[in-house]
Structure 1
Amino acid sequence: MNHIAATDDLILVGHSSASPLVAELATKLPARAIIIVDGDIPPPHGRASPVRPVLHDFIRNLAGAEGMLPVWSRWFARDPQRAALIGLDILARDPLALAQFEDGLPTMRVDWFDDTIDLLRWDHIPAGFVQASPIYDHATTEALRRGWPVERLNGTHLHPTLCPDEMAGAILSLAHRLRQRS
C-alpha cells in the first residue's frame, strides 16, 4: 500500500467484479468515497464474492480439464445478445482493437471465482454508482435504495474501453457530487 500517496481526497473506482475489492480497499485507505462502475454492489459487511452465483455457475461450465478459463471476452461467444450488452460486438468490428484488448486480458483459473472477501463495514463511506449497461439494472436499483448518486449511460459493459471520455465525465461528475456530500 505504500505506493499510494497519502491524501484526504482519495476516491476509489472499481469496475465490474472489482466492486468488492474497491469496498475492501476503502476500509484500509483513507478513502473519501468510492464509485462502482457497472458492477454488483457488495453487502455492507461480511462475505462478498467477485460474481453473482448464476455467473459463477456459468463460468464453471466453461473451464477446461485443468480448470483454466478462456479469456473473458470469449465467455459469451455463443450468446450474441449477451455479447452485445457487454459491447464485444462493437469491439469485434475492429479485429486489431479486439486482438489488442484480448492480449491484455489475463488467463484465469475457475477457482479464482471461489474466493471471497470478508468485508469490514464500509457502508459509512460515501458511494456512487455508474450504470453503463442494462446488465446492472438491479445494481442501480440497489444504489438508489441506499441513497447513492447514480449516473446512467446508454452504453455497454465495456463503456470504459469503448467510450472513455463519456465514462470519465460520468466518474468526474459523481466524484464532484460525492465531495459535496462529505
Structure 2
Amino acid sequence: MRELNREPGELSATTLVLLHSPLVSMSSWGRTAECVEALGPRCVAVEVDDDLRPPYGLGYARCAADRIAGSVGTGPVVLVGHSGAGPVLPAVTAALHGRVAVVGELYCDANLPRAGASRVDLMRHQGADFENFRAELANGRRYPDWSDEELTELLPDPLDRKTVLAGVRQRGEDFYLEPLPIPDSVPEIGRGFLRLCAGYEFPAAEAERRGWPIIRLDQGHFHPLVDPEETARALVAVAARLVPAA
C-alpha cells in the first residue's frame, strides 16, 4: 500500500457515499459500507437505476443526487465513484449543489473525467483492446456480456460472481459514445484515488501527477466484493485526506 503524505482530517461528521458503475448494480460494493462504518465514519451505498435512456450520464447524476439527498440529509459527504461512476462524479457534485455539501470526490478504479470526452474516449489508453472494443460496439455488441467462467479468476467465490452477473446492465454503442457531462464550474474540493488493480494505473498516475492523495492496492477490480474490509480501510485512509484537518 502506498503511503499518503497529507495529514488526515476528521471523518466523524462526514458520510462516505458509495456510487456503483452504471454497468452493474449497488450490490457490487458488497459489504464495504458496513465495513467502513465499523471503522467510524457513516457510509451509505446508493442504487442508481434511472439512467437507462439518454442522456445517460446526466440521468445517472440526477438520479444519484436524488438518492443521496434522500439518504444523508445536507452532508458533508465524500462521493466515492467505482469504475464507470468515476467520470460522472463532477456532475453528481453539481446536481447536489444547494442540497448536500460535497467536500470530496474519491475515484476508485475509475477513469478521470475530461471535458467533452465520452466513455470510449477515456478508454483510449488501453491500446489494442480499446480498438477491438470500439469495433465490436459498432457491430452491435452490448457490454458487459461476461459469463460466469470469464469472471472466475477475478471473483473466485461463485456467490460473488452470481452477485455481479445478476446486476449487469448491458449498454450499447450510444451509451459509450455519449459525451459525459462536465459542469461549467468545478468546485475546489478534495479529490483522491484508490487504485484496486493495475488495469487502472493510467488514471492513478494522472491523479498522482495532480497531487491527489492516492493508495494503490494490487488486487482485482471487484475487490469491494472479495475483501470489503481491506477496501474499507483504504477508502477511509484516502477520504480522511480529502477533508480539512482540525
* TM-score category of the 2 structures, normalised to the smaller one: 0.7 to 0.9
In the alignment, what sits opposite 2:134? 60
Q: Retained in 2: the 8 A contact 1:33–1:126?
A: yes
Count of equivalent residues:
168
Supply the distance in 2 between the matched residues of 1:135 and 1:12 (Cα, whole angstroms). 22
Structure 1 residue 36 displacement after superposition: 0.2
TM-score by length of 2: 0.59
For the 8 Å contact 2:191–2:213, the answer to whether it is kept is yes
**Residue identity matched to 1:108:** R
Residue 162 of structure 1 aligns to which amino acid in structure 2? V
Q: Distance in 1 between matches of 2:224 and 2:172?
A: 25
Deviations 1:47-70, CA, capped at 9 Å, x for gaps: 2322413565433344496x3425
Matched, 1:26 2:93: yes
CA RMSD of aligned residues (A): 2.7
Match of 1:41 in 2: 112
Number of the residue aligned with 1:82: none
Deviations 1:92-140 (A, max 9, x none): x344432332121112223210111231242622101001111122212
Contact 2:109 2:200 in 1 (8 A): yes
Query: In the alignment, does 2:190 pair up with 1:98?
Result: no
- Structure 2 residue runs without a partner (length 5+): 1-64
Equivalent-residue separation in structure 1 for 2:154 and 2:123 (angstroms): 25
1:118 to 175, 181, 193: 181
Does the CA-based 8 Å contact 2:78-2:239 persist in structure 1?
A: yes
Residue 73 in structure 1 maps to residue 146 in structure 2: yes
Moved more, 49-58 or 101-110: 49-58
Note the C-alpha offset of 1:151.
1.2
**Cα separation, 2, equivalents of 1:133 and 1:24:** 25
Structure 1 residues not aligned, in runs of 5+: 78-86
Assess if the C-alpha contact under 8 Å between 1:131 and 1:151 holds in 2. yes
Alignment match, 2:76: 9
- Three-state SS of the structure 2 residue aligned to 1:73 is coil
SS in 2 for 1:60: helix
* Counterpart check, 1:141 vs 2:210: no
Q: Which residue is equivalent to 1:84? A: none
SS of 1:24 mapped into structure 2: helix
CA 1:138–1:56: 2 relative to 1, 3 Å: closer
Aligned CA distance change for structure 1 residues 56 and 154 (closer, same or farther; 3 Å):
closer
Instruction: State the alpha-carbon separation in 2 of the partners of residues 94 and 17 from structure 1.
Output: 23
Give runs of ≥4 in structure 1 deviating > 4 Å. none
Asked if 1 retains the 8 angstrom alpha-carbon contact of 2:143 and 2:172, the reply is: no
Distance 1:181 1:42 in 2: 27
For 1:161-172, list aligned pairs within 5 A. Answer: 161-172=225-236
Q: Is the Cα–Cα contact under 8 Å of residues 137 and 173 in structure 2 kept in the other structure?
A: yes
**Quick one: distance in 2 between partners of 1:102 and 1:63?**
20
Using the size of structure 1 for normalisation, the TM-score is: 0.77
